[in-house]
Structure 1
Amino acid sequence: MTWLVVQTKPKQEELASEHLTRQGYQVFLPKIEQRKRVRGQWRHVIGPLFPRYLFIEARLGTDDMAPVRSTIGVINLVRFGQEIVPVPDSVIEFLQSQQDPTTGARDASAWPHKRGDQVDILEGPFAGLQGIFEMSKDDDRAYLLIELLGRATRVQLERFMLGDPL
């Protein structure tokens, strides 16, 4: 059995997942919990980790893929040229290990950094420097201490600018 990537119609990942499951396919739809502004209010929303994509397990070369392509909510299987592309089991296992067992979603607000962690700064005006993680300000920003002009200076950076803890 091999994992394959299925492209779905916009906002129809759940519908496609349900119909593929009814057809007997093992389906994996990784999800993520995020804070989003909905009608002016901040809410925790669970949605697909990869919008418009999900994974199915099938026998590549022996299973007929026509029923998959004609499933409600499905556009097609992801291909390179005419070849359907298999996804390594290790990738699926990693994604599954990141899912919360209670919600079935990965928590996007969970920072991998702890106070005192040494962190590489990957982007922005301080790219290439290292800092000491001090605290998260919110889901998207954090305070770091970096050495500037011979002293520790507190800077606020966006989450995407930081590397993994060293």
Structure 2
Amino acid sequence: MNWYVVYTKPKWERKVAEQLGKIGIECYCPLITVVRQWSDRKKKIEVPLFNSYVFVQLAESDRNLVFQSAGAVRYLFWLGKPAIVKDEEIDVIRKWLHTPDSYDVSLTSIQVGDSIELESGPFSKQKAIVKEVNKTHYILVLESLGCVLKMKLK
């Protein structure tokens, strides 16, 4: 079974994930904790990592079941076909969200343009290309995930 990306109504990510879970569809809505400030207080709240997106794992023939949820709008498409997310990519997101906030990172004799493989942290075993080396940080491009990673040094 493949992981698909469902586009939801704004602010409906959790509701859609809950409704789909009730009808037996495996879904994943990654949440992060952020501090929000109101006029009288600050509060930590959980918000979706990806606005208006929920990942669902189901068979191709069962794709229409997600529309039983009132907040599901459509599937995300890539090149005319429903976008499929690899199991490894979902695992990387889960691992990244459940790891501590600090890591010990050491790089030696790394030059801009080098291709490296990360050995620890949430992106371990991911291949990256070094784009910038600075006294305070490194910038790496993770091509398999399509993102840029900025690693600050302690």
TM-score normalised per structure 2:
0.65
Residue type of the alignment partner of 2:95: S
**Any idea what SS the aligned residue of 1:45 has?**
strand
* Residue aligned with 2:24, SS: coil
Pairing 1:38–2:33 present: no
User: In structure 1, the residue corresponding to 2:11 is in which secondary structure?
Assistant: coil
1:131 Cα deviation (Å)? Answer: 1.1
Preserved CA contact (<8 Å) 1:69 1:77: no
> How far apart are the structure 2 equivalents of 1:70 and 1:81?
26
Partner of 1:25: 25
1:87 aligns to what? 85
CA positional deviation for 1:41: 2.7
List per-residue Cα deviations over 1:101-145 (Å, max 9, x = no partner): xxxxx78xx35577xx67x9xxxxxx9561147xxxxxxxxxxxx
Structure 2 residue corresponding to 1:131, chosen from 116, 132, 135: 135
What SS does the corresponding residue of 1:34 show, helix, strand or coil? strand
Count of aligned positions: 123
2:151 counterpart residue number: 164
1:145 is aligned to: none
8 Å contact from structure 1 (residues 12, 52) kept in 2: yes
Instruction: Determine the structure 1 residue equivalent to 2:69.
Output: 71
Q: 1:16 offset after TM fit, Å?
A: 0.5
Q: Report the TM-score when normalising by structure 1.
A: 0.61
Q: Is the Cα–Cα contact under 8 Å of residues 7 and 53 in structure 1 kept in the other structure? A: yes
Within-5 A mapping of 1:135-150:
none
Mapped to 2, the partners of 1:40 and 1:130 lie a distance apart of 40
Please report the RMSD computed on the Cα atoms of aligned residues, expressed in angstroms: 3.3
Cα drift, residue 86 of structure 1: 0.8
Equivalence for 1:96: 94
Task: Name the SS for the 1:75 alignment partner.
Answer: strand
Aligned mates of 1:36, 1:95 — CA distance in 2:
23
Return 5+ residue gaps in structure 2 as ranges: 111-130, 138-148
Show structure 1 runs of 5+ residues with no match.
101-105, 121-126, 134-161
Counterparts of 1:112 and 1:9 in 2: how far apart (Å)?
Answer: 36
Question: What residue is the counterpart of 1:48 in the other structure?
Answer: 48
2:136–2:152 contact (8 Å) kept in structure 1: no
Decide which structure has greater strand share.
1
State yes or no: 1:2 paired with 2:6.
no
Q: Alignment partner of 2:5: what SS?
A: strand
Distance between the aligned counterparts of 1:78 and 1:128, measured in 2? 33
Identity among equivalent positions (%) equals: 22
Amino acid at match of 1:130: N
